[in-house]
Amino acid sequence: MSILGPALAQKFIDKTAKHLEYNINIMNDKGIIIASKDASRVGSFHEVAYGMLNGTIETGIVTEKEKYIGTKPGVNLFIDYKNKHVGVICVTGNPENVQAFAVLVKTSMEAMLEYELQMEGERRRKDKAEHFLYYLLYEDRNESAIVDRMSDELGLNKELYRICILIKYHSDYRAAKLIQALTSAEGHSVQDVIAVARNNDIILLKALGDKKSDTVKGYKLVIEEYIKNVLEKLPTEYDPKKISFFIGSLQSNINRYKNSHLHAQELVLQTKEAFGIHFFNDHILDYYRSLATIKAYDEVFSIYDPLFNEGEKKQLVEMVKALYKNNYNVLYSAKELYIHRNTLLFRLNKLKDTLNIDPIAVAEDREFLNELAYYFSKTKKTE
């Protein structure tokens, strides 16, 4: 299949050459006129173009009428793409008069050809990328051979770590604008794969370092810096506080990318904040809690339910939330709760009298209290 097609050639004629004084013909790699200001010549054989392309004619300058089949006096020049002759462009007229103009037309044609082919390549890659992500993330059963073939077509390096970033945004914002920011920001890689989900969320399968690098140690900082750069590329009317980034688990195996997407989706359900950057690894406990039914918790913790009234349960949930957030530091937790340090110590001592636990000093008691508070937070009366 010829790189230089009739539609593209005629587009050049229509946009660039239709108002010019001289006639312009464009011939493909077979020497056939595929576009012309003179529509009657389209489809005709052009002997000089054919000869130039197969090496039997050395010059494209024609001074004599009817010396060559389908050829009039003028200047014929190669159309090149990536150092290869893909066609010929001709400006008809006295060669002395049209020589400089022909060079300009040739250069313009080559620039348009390169641009259009680049855009077409990006459109095709986008279609393949979306197809790849939909197959990889949404098909119940993936065949490894198909996944490998599709990833090879995209030129994906399977040695890289990747992570799924799920992007939610205000309904007034356009996905295309966000994708433009994602792909133009510093930190974007040609190894990234982007698609728009059916609910208009943007799915970014972000490529990070290879398995020999410090990716595991530093991926959060890399992603935070990248997202900072993305936000700087957004249109000024796009408020960063109306955009959320949910980052799934880091994966090194193409067959496990789906897990990263599932973890990012789970993070959406668990996270209450409307915007910002959220990492799955910061919410792993919540994730595993979500895997256990409330019935499983009830089997363990219901025995403690009668020991506290509803107000005490609510107070316990708030207290443990502050303690957990502040790594069980009493002073910082008291500030979080807007109470005096001694008030918090009093509540902890009361809890010690009731349950014979010391969560400040004993790690196992701390874990128990965390799960008891979670159970109370999920019971109907204390939600």
Whether the pLDDT of residue 238 is over 90: the answer is: yes
Say whether both 181 and 99 belong to one domain. no
| Contact assessment for residue 150 and residue 133, using Cβ atoms and an 8 Å cutoff | no
Summarised one tens digit per residue, pLDDT across range 132-158 is 887 887 777 777 888 888 888 888 888
The token pair that represents 141 in the structure block: 């059963």
Say whether both 284 and 298 belong to one domain. no
Summarised one tens digit per residue, pLDDT across range 258-282 is 899 999 998 988 887 668 999 999 8
Q: Which domain holds residue 13?
A: 6-119
- Whole-Å CA distances, 307 to 125, 259, 314, 349, 373: 62, 40, 13, 15, 13
Average pLDDT, the chain: 88
pLDDT number for residue 334 = 94
Say whether both 325 and 278 belong to one domain. no
Say whether both 168 and 283 belong to one domain. yes
Number of H helices, E strands in the chain: 13, 10
Question: CB count, 10 Å around CB of 336?
Answer: 17
Strands (E), 1-48: 24-27, 33-36
In a domain? residue 69 = yes
The whole-model pTM stands at 0.62
The token pair that represents 33 in the structure block: 């006129």
Beta-carbon contacts of 20 under 8 Å, excluding residues fewer than 6 positions away, are 37
Please report, to the nearest 10 degrees, the dihedral formed by the alpha carbons of residues 253, 259, 264, 267 taken in order. -130
As a whole number of angstroms, the distance between CA 152 and CA 309 comes to 61
Angle of CA points 245, 247, 250, to nearest 5°: 160
- Whole-Å CA distances, 181 to 16, 91, 236: 31, 42, 12
In a domain? residue 138 = no
Summarised one tens digit per residue, pLDDT across range 9-38 is 888 888 876 677 788 999 998 999 999 988
pLDDT number for residue 122 = 61
Handedness of CA 136, 231, 122, 159 (dihedral sign): negative
Say whether both 165 and 258 belong to one domain. yes
- Check which CATH number belongs to the domain holding 260 and give it: 3.30.70.270
Buried b (16+ CB within 10 A) or exposed e, 16-30: ebeeeebbbbbbbbe
Whether the pLDDT of residue 184 is over 70: the answer is: yes
Say whether both 271 and 349 belong to one domain. no
Question: CB count, 10 Å around CB of 226?
Answer: 22
How large a percentage of the chain has pLDDT more than 70?
95
In a domain? residue 364 = yes
Element (H, E) at 364: helix 363-378
Between 284-288, 329-333, 353-357, 364-368, the lowest mean confidence (pLDDT) is in 284-288
In a domain? residue 310 = yes
Say whether both 163 and 73 belong to one domain. no
DSSP code, position 356: -
Listed ranges 152-166, 282-296, 357-371; the one with the highest mean pLDDT: 357-371
Whether the pLDDT of residue 383 is over 50: the answer is: no
Average pLDDT of the segment spanning 209-229: 89
- Check which CATH number belongs to the domain holding 27 and give it: 3.30.450
Between 1-5, 96-100, 343-347, the lowest mean confidence (pLDDT) is in 1-5
Say whether both 19 and 112 belong to one domain. yes
Could you say which of 227, 257, 289 is where a domain stops?
A: 289
The token pair that represents 81 in the structure block: 């793409």
Domain count, the chain: 3
Between 145-149, 188-192, 262-266, 294-298, the lowest mean confidence (pLDDT) is in 145-149
| Contact assessment for residue 131 and residue 189, using Cβ atoms and an 8 Å cutoff | no
Say whether both 96 and 74 belong to one domain. yes
Say whether both 248 and 285 belong to one domain. yes
As a whole number of angstroms, the distance between CA 257 and CA 144 comes to 13
Could you say which of 235, 262, 289 is where a domain stops?
A: 289
Summarised one tens digit per residue, pLDDT across range 316-361 is 999 999 999 999 999 999 999 999 999 999 999 999 999 999 999 9
Residue with tokens 């004993």: 362
User: Which pLDDT band, with edges at 50, 70 and 90, does 131 fall under?
Assistant: confident
Average pLDDT of the segment spanning 284-308: 88
Summarised one tens digit per residue, pLDDT across range 37-77 is 888 889 999 999 999 999 999 889 998 887 888 888 999 99
For residue 25, the cross-strand partners are 36, 90
In a domain? residue 308 = yes
Say whether both 320 and 353 belong to one domain. yes
User: Which pLDDT band, with edges at 50, 70 and 90, does 251 fall under?
Assistant: very high
In a domain? residue 13 = yes
In a domain? residue 148 = no
As a whole number of angstroms, the distance between CA 340 and CA 331 comes to 8
In a domain? residue 193 = yes
Residue 382 vs residue 339, higher pLDDT: 339
